[in-house]
């Protein structure tokens, strides 16, 4: 969360007016901003929910253990982290609570029981995993079944046109087979798939410059195909990139961030864009 209250409220108001009903955040957002320590995003969302009186309309997802520290998914740690998030969000429950990263130290049976206790307490509606491998996700689902706990219902891994390895293949097969909905983050590859960043010169002075640089060499074929499909459909590159994700098996919806009401309107337009199978196939091959 890098915007002030007025800018944040403008983005959230526009999202709501356009029918947006799910917000993704985390306890650690936005600790990477100088002077921030985490919790800023949840706090701003909580202020907006309270001011607008729309909590019952919204589905709120948040996460704990952003840095993947050992022991942080133990039941007591989970409960304490959730309580902090609920306070910042000004609510008594969240709809989806993720393990932001895996915890290799805490036994998976205990992790499953910890999340299940929060479901039974009415503090969360469901739980999810983020940044998990297929092996660890499968083991987590098996652990939940073994102890009679509510299993993870959602996965949030990176997935977009130029970064596919955290979903395609074993993870996707598992999600489809076990009924886990994928809600991928970095749907626009940190802005690269908007078409705004095509050379080193385009990155100068940009906050996301380092995140985008890795795609300048490897992503040009994808960007060229994205340009072509955007021209064919009359949509923007960002809308096509998100529509491509929506066309994939197992996807619930892609996650993308916006810093202005105008960007929100553009991104929400992707929800109604349906690509032709031939266009999806061309984008698939552009790598």
Active-site residue list: 29
Count of beta carbons in the 10 Å neighbourhood of residue 220: 13
* Burial readout 6-15 (b: 16 or more C-beta within 10 A, e: otherwise): eebbbbbbbb
3-state helix/strand/coil string of 213-227: HCHHHHCHHHHHHHH
Cα angle 148, 113, 56; round to 5: 95
Pairing of strands 124-130, 59-64: unpaired
Q: Do the Cβ atoms of 286 and 225 come closer than 8 Å? A: yes
Place of tokens 């995140």: 211
Supply the DSSP symbol for 150. Answer: P
Tell me which residue of 127, 132, 45, 44 sits closest to 81, measured CA to CA: 127
Q: Do the Cβ atoms of 2 and 258 come closer than 8 Å? A: no
Helix axis angle, 237-246 to 261-268, nearest 10°: 50
Alpha-helical runs (H) found in the chain = 5-17, 40-52, 75-89, 108-120, 134-147, 170-178, 200-203, 209-213, 215-218, 220-233, 237-246, 261-268, 277-285
């Amino acid at each position: 969360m890098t915007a002030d209250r007025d800018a944040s409220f403008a983005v959230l108001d526009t999202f709501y007016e356009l029918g947006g009903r799910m917000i993704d955040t985390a306890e650690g957002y936005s600790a990477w901003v100088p002077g921030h320590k985490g919790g800023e995003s949840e706090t701003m969302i909580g202020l907006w929910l309270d001011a607008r009186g729309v909590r019952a309309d919204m589905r709120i997802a948040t996460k704990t253990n952003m840095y993947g520290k050992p022991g942080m998914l133990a039941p007591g740690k989970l409960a304490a982290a959730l309580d902090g998030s609920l306070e910042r969000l000004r609510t008594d429950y969240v709809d989806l609570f993720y393990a932001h990263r895996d915890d290799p130290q805490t036994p998976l049976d205990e992790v499953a029981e910890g999340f299940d206790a929060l479901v039974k307490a009415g503090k969360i509606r469901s739980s999810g995993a983020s940044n998990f491998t297929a092996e660890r996700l499968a083991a987590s689902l098996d652990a939940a079944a073994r102890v009679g706990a509510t299993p993870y219902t959602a996965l949030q891994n990176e997935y977009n046109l130029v970064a596919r390895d955290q979903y395609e293949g074993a993870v996707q097969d598992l999600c489809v087979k076990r009924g886990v909905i994928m809600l991928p983050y970095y749907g626009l590859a940190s802005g690269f798939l908007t078409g705004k960043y095509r050379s080193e010169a385009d990155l100068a002075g940009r906050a996301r410059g380092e995140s985008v640089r890795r795609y300048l060499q490897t992503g040009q074929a994808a960007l060229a195909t994205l340009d072509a499909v955007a021209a064919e459909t009359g949509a923007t590159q960002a809308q096509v990139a998100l529509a491509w994700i929506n066309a994939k098996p197992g996807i619930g919806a892609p996650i993308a961030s916006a810093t202005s009401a105008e960007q929100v309107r553009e991104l929400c337009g992707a929800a109604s864009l349906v690509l032709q199978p031939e266009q999806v196939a061309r984008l698939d091959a552009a790598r």
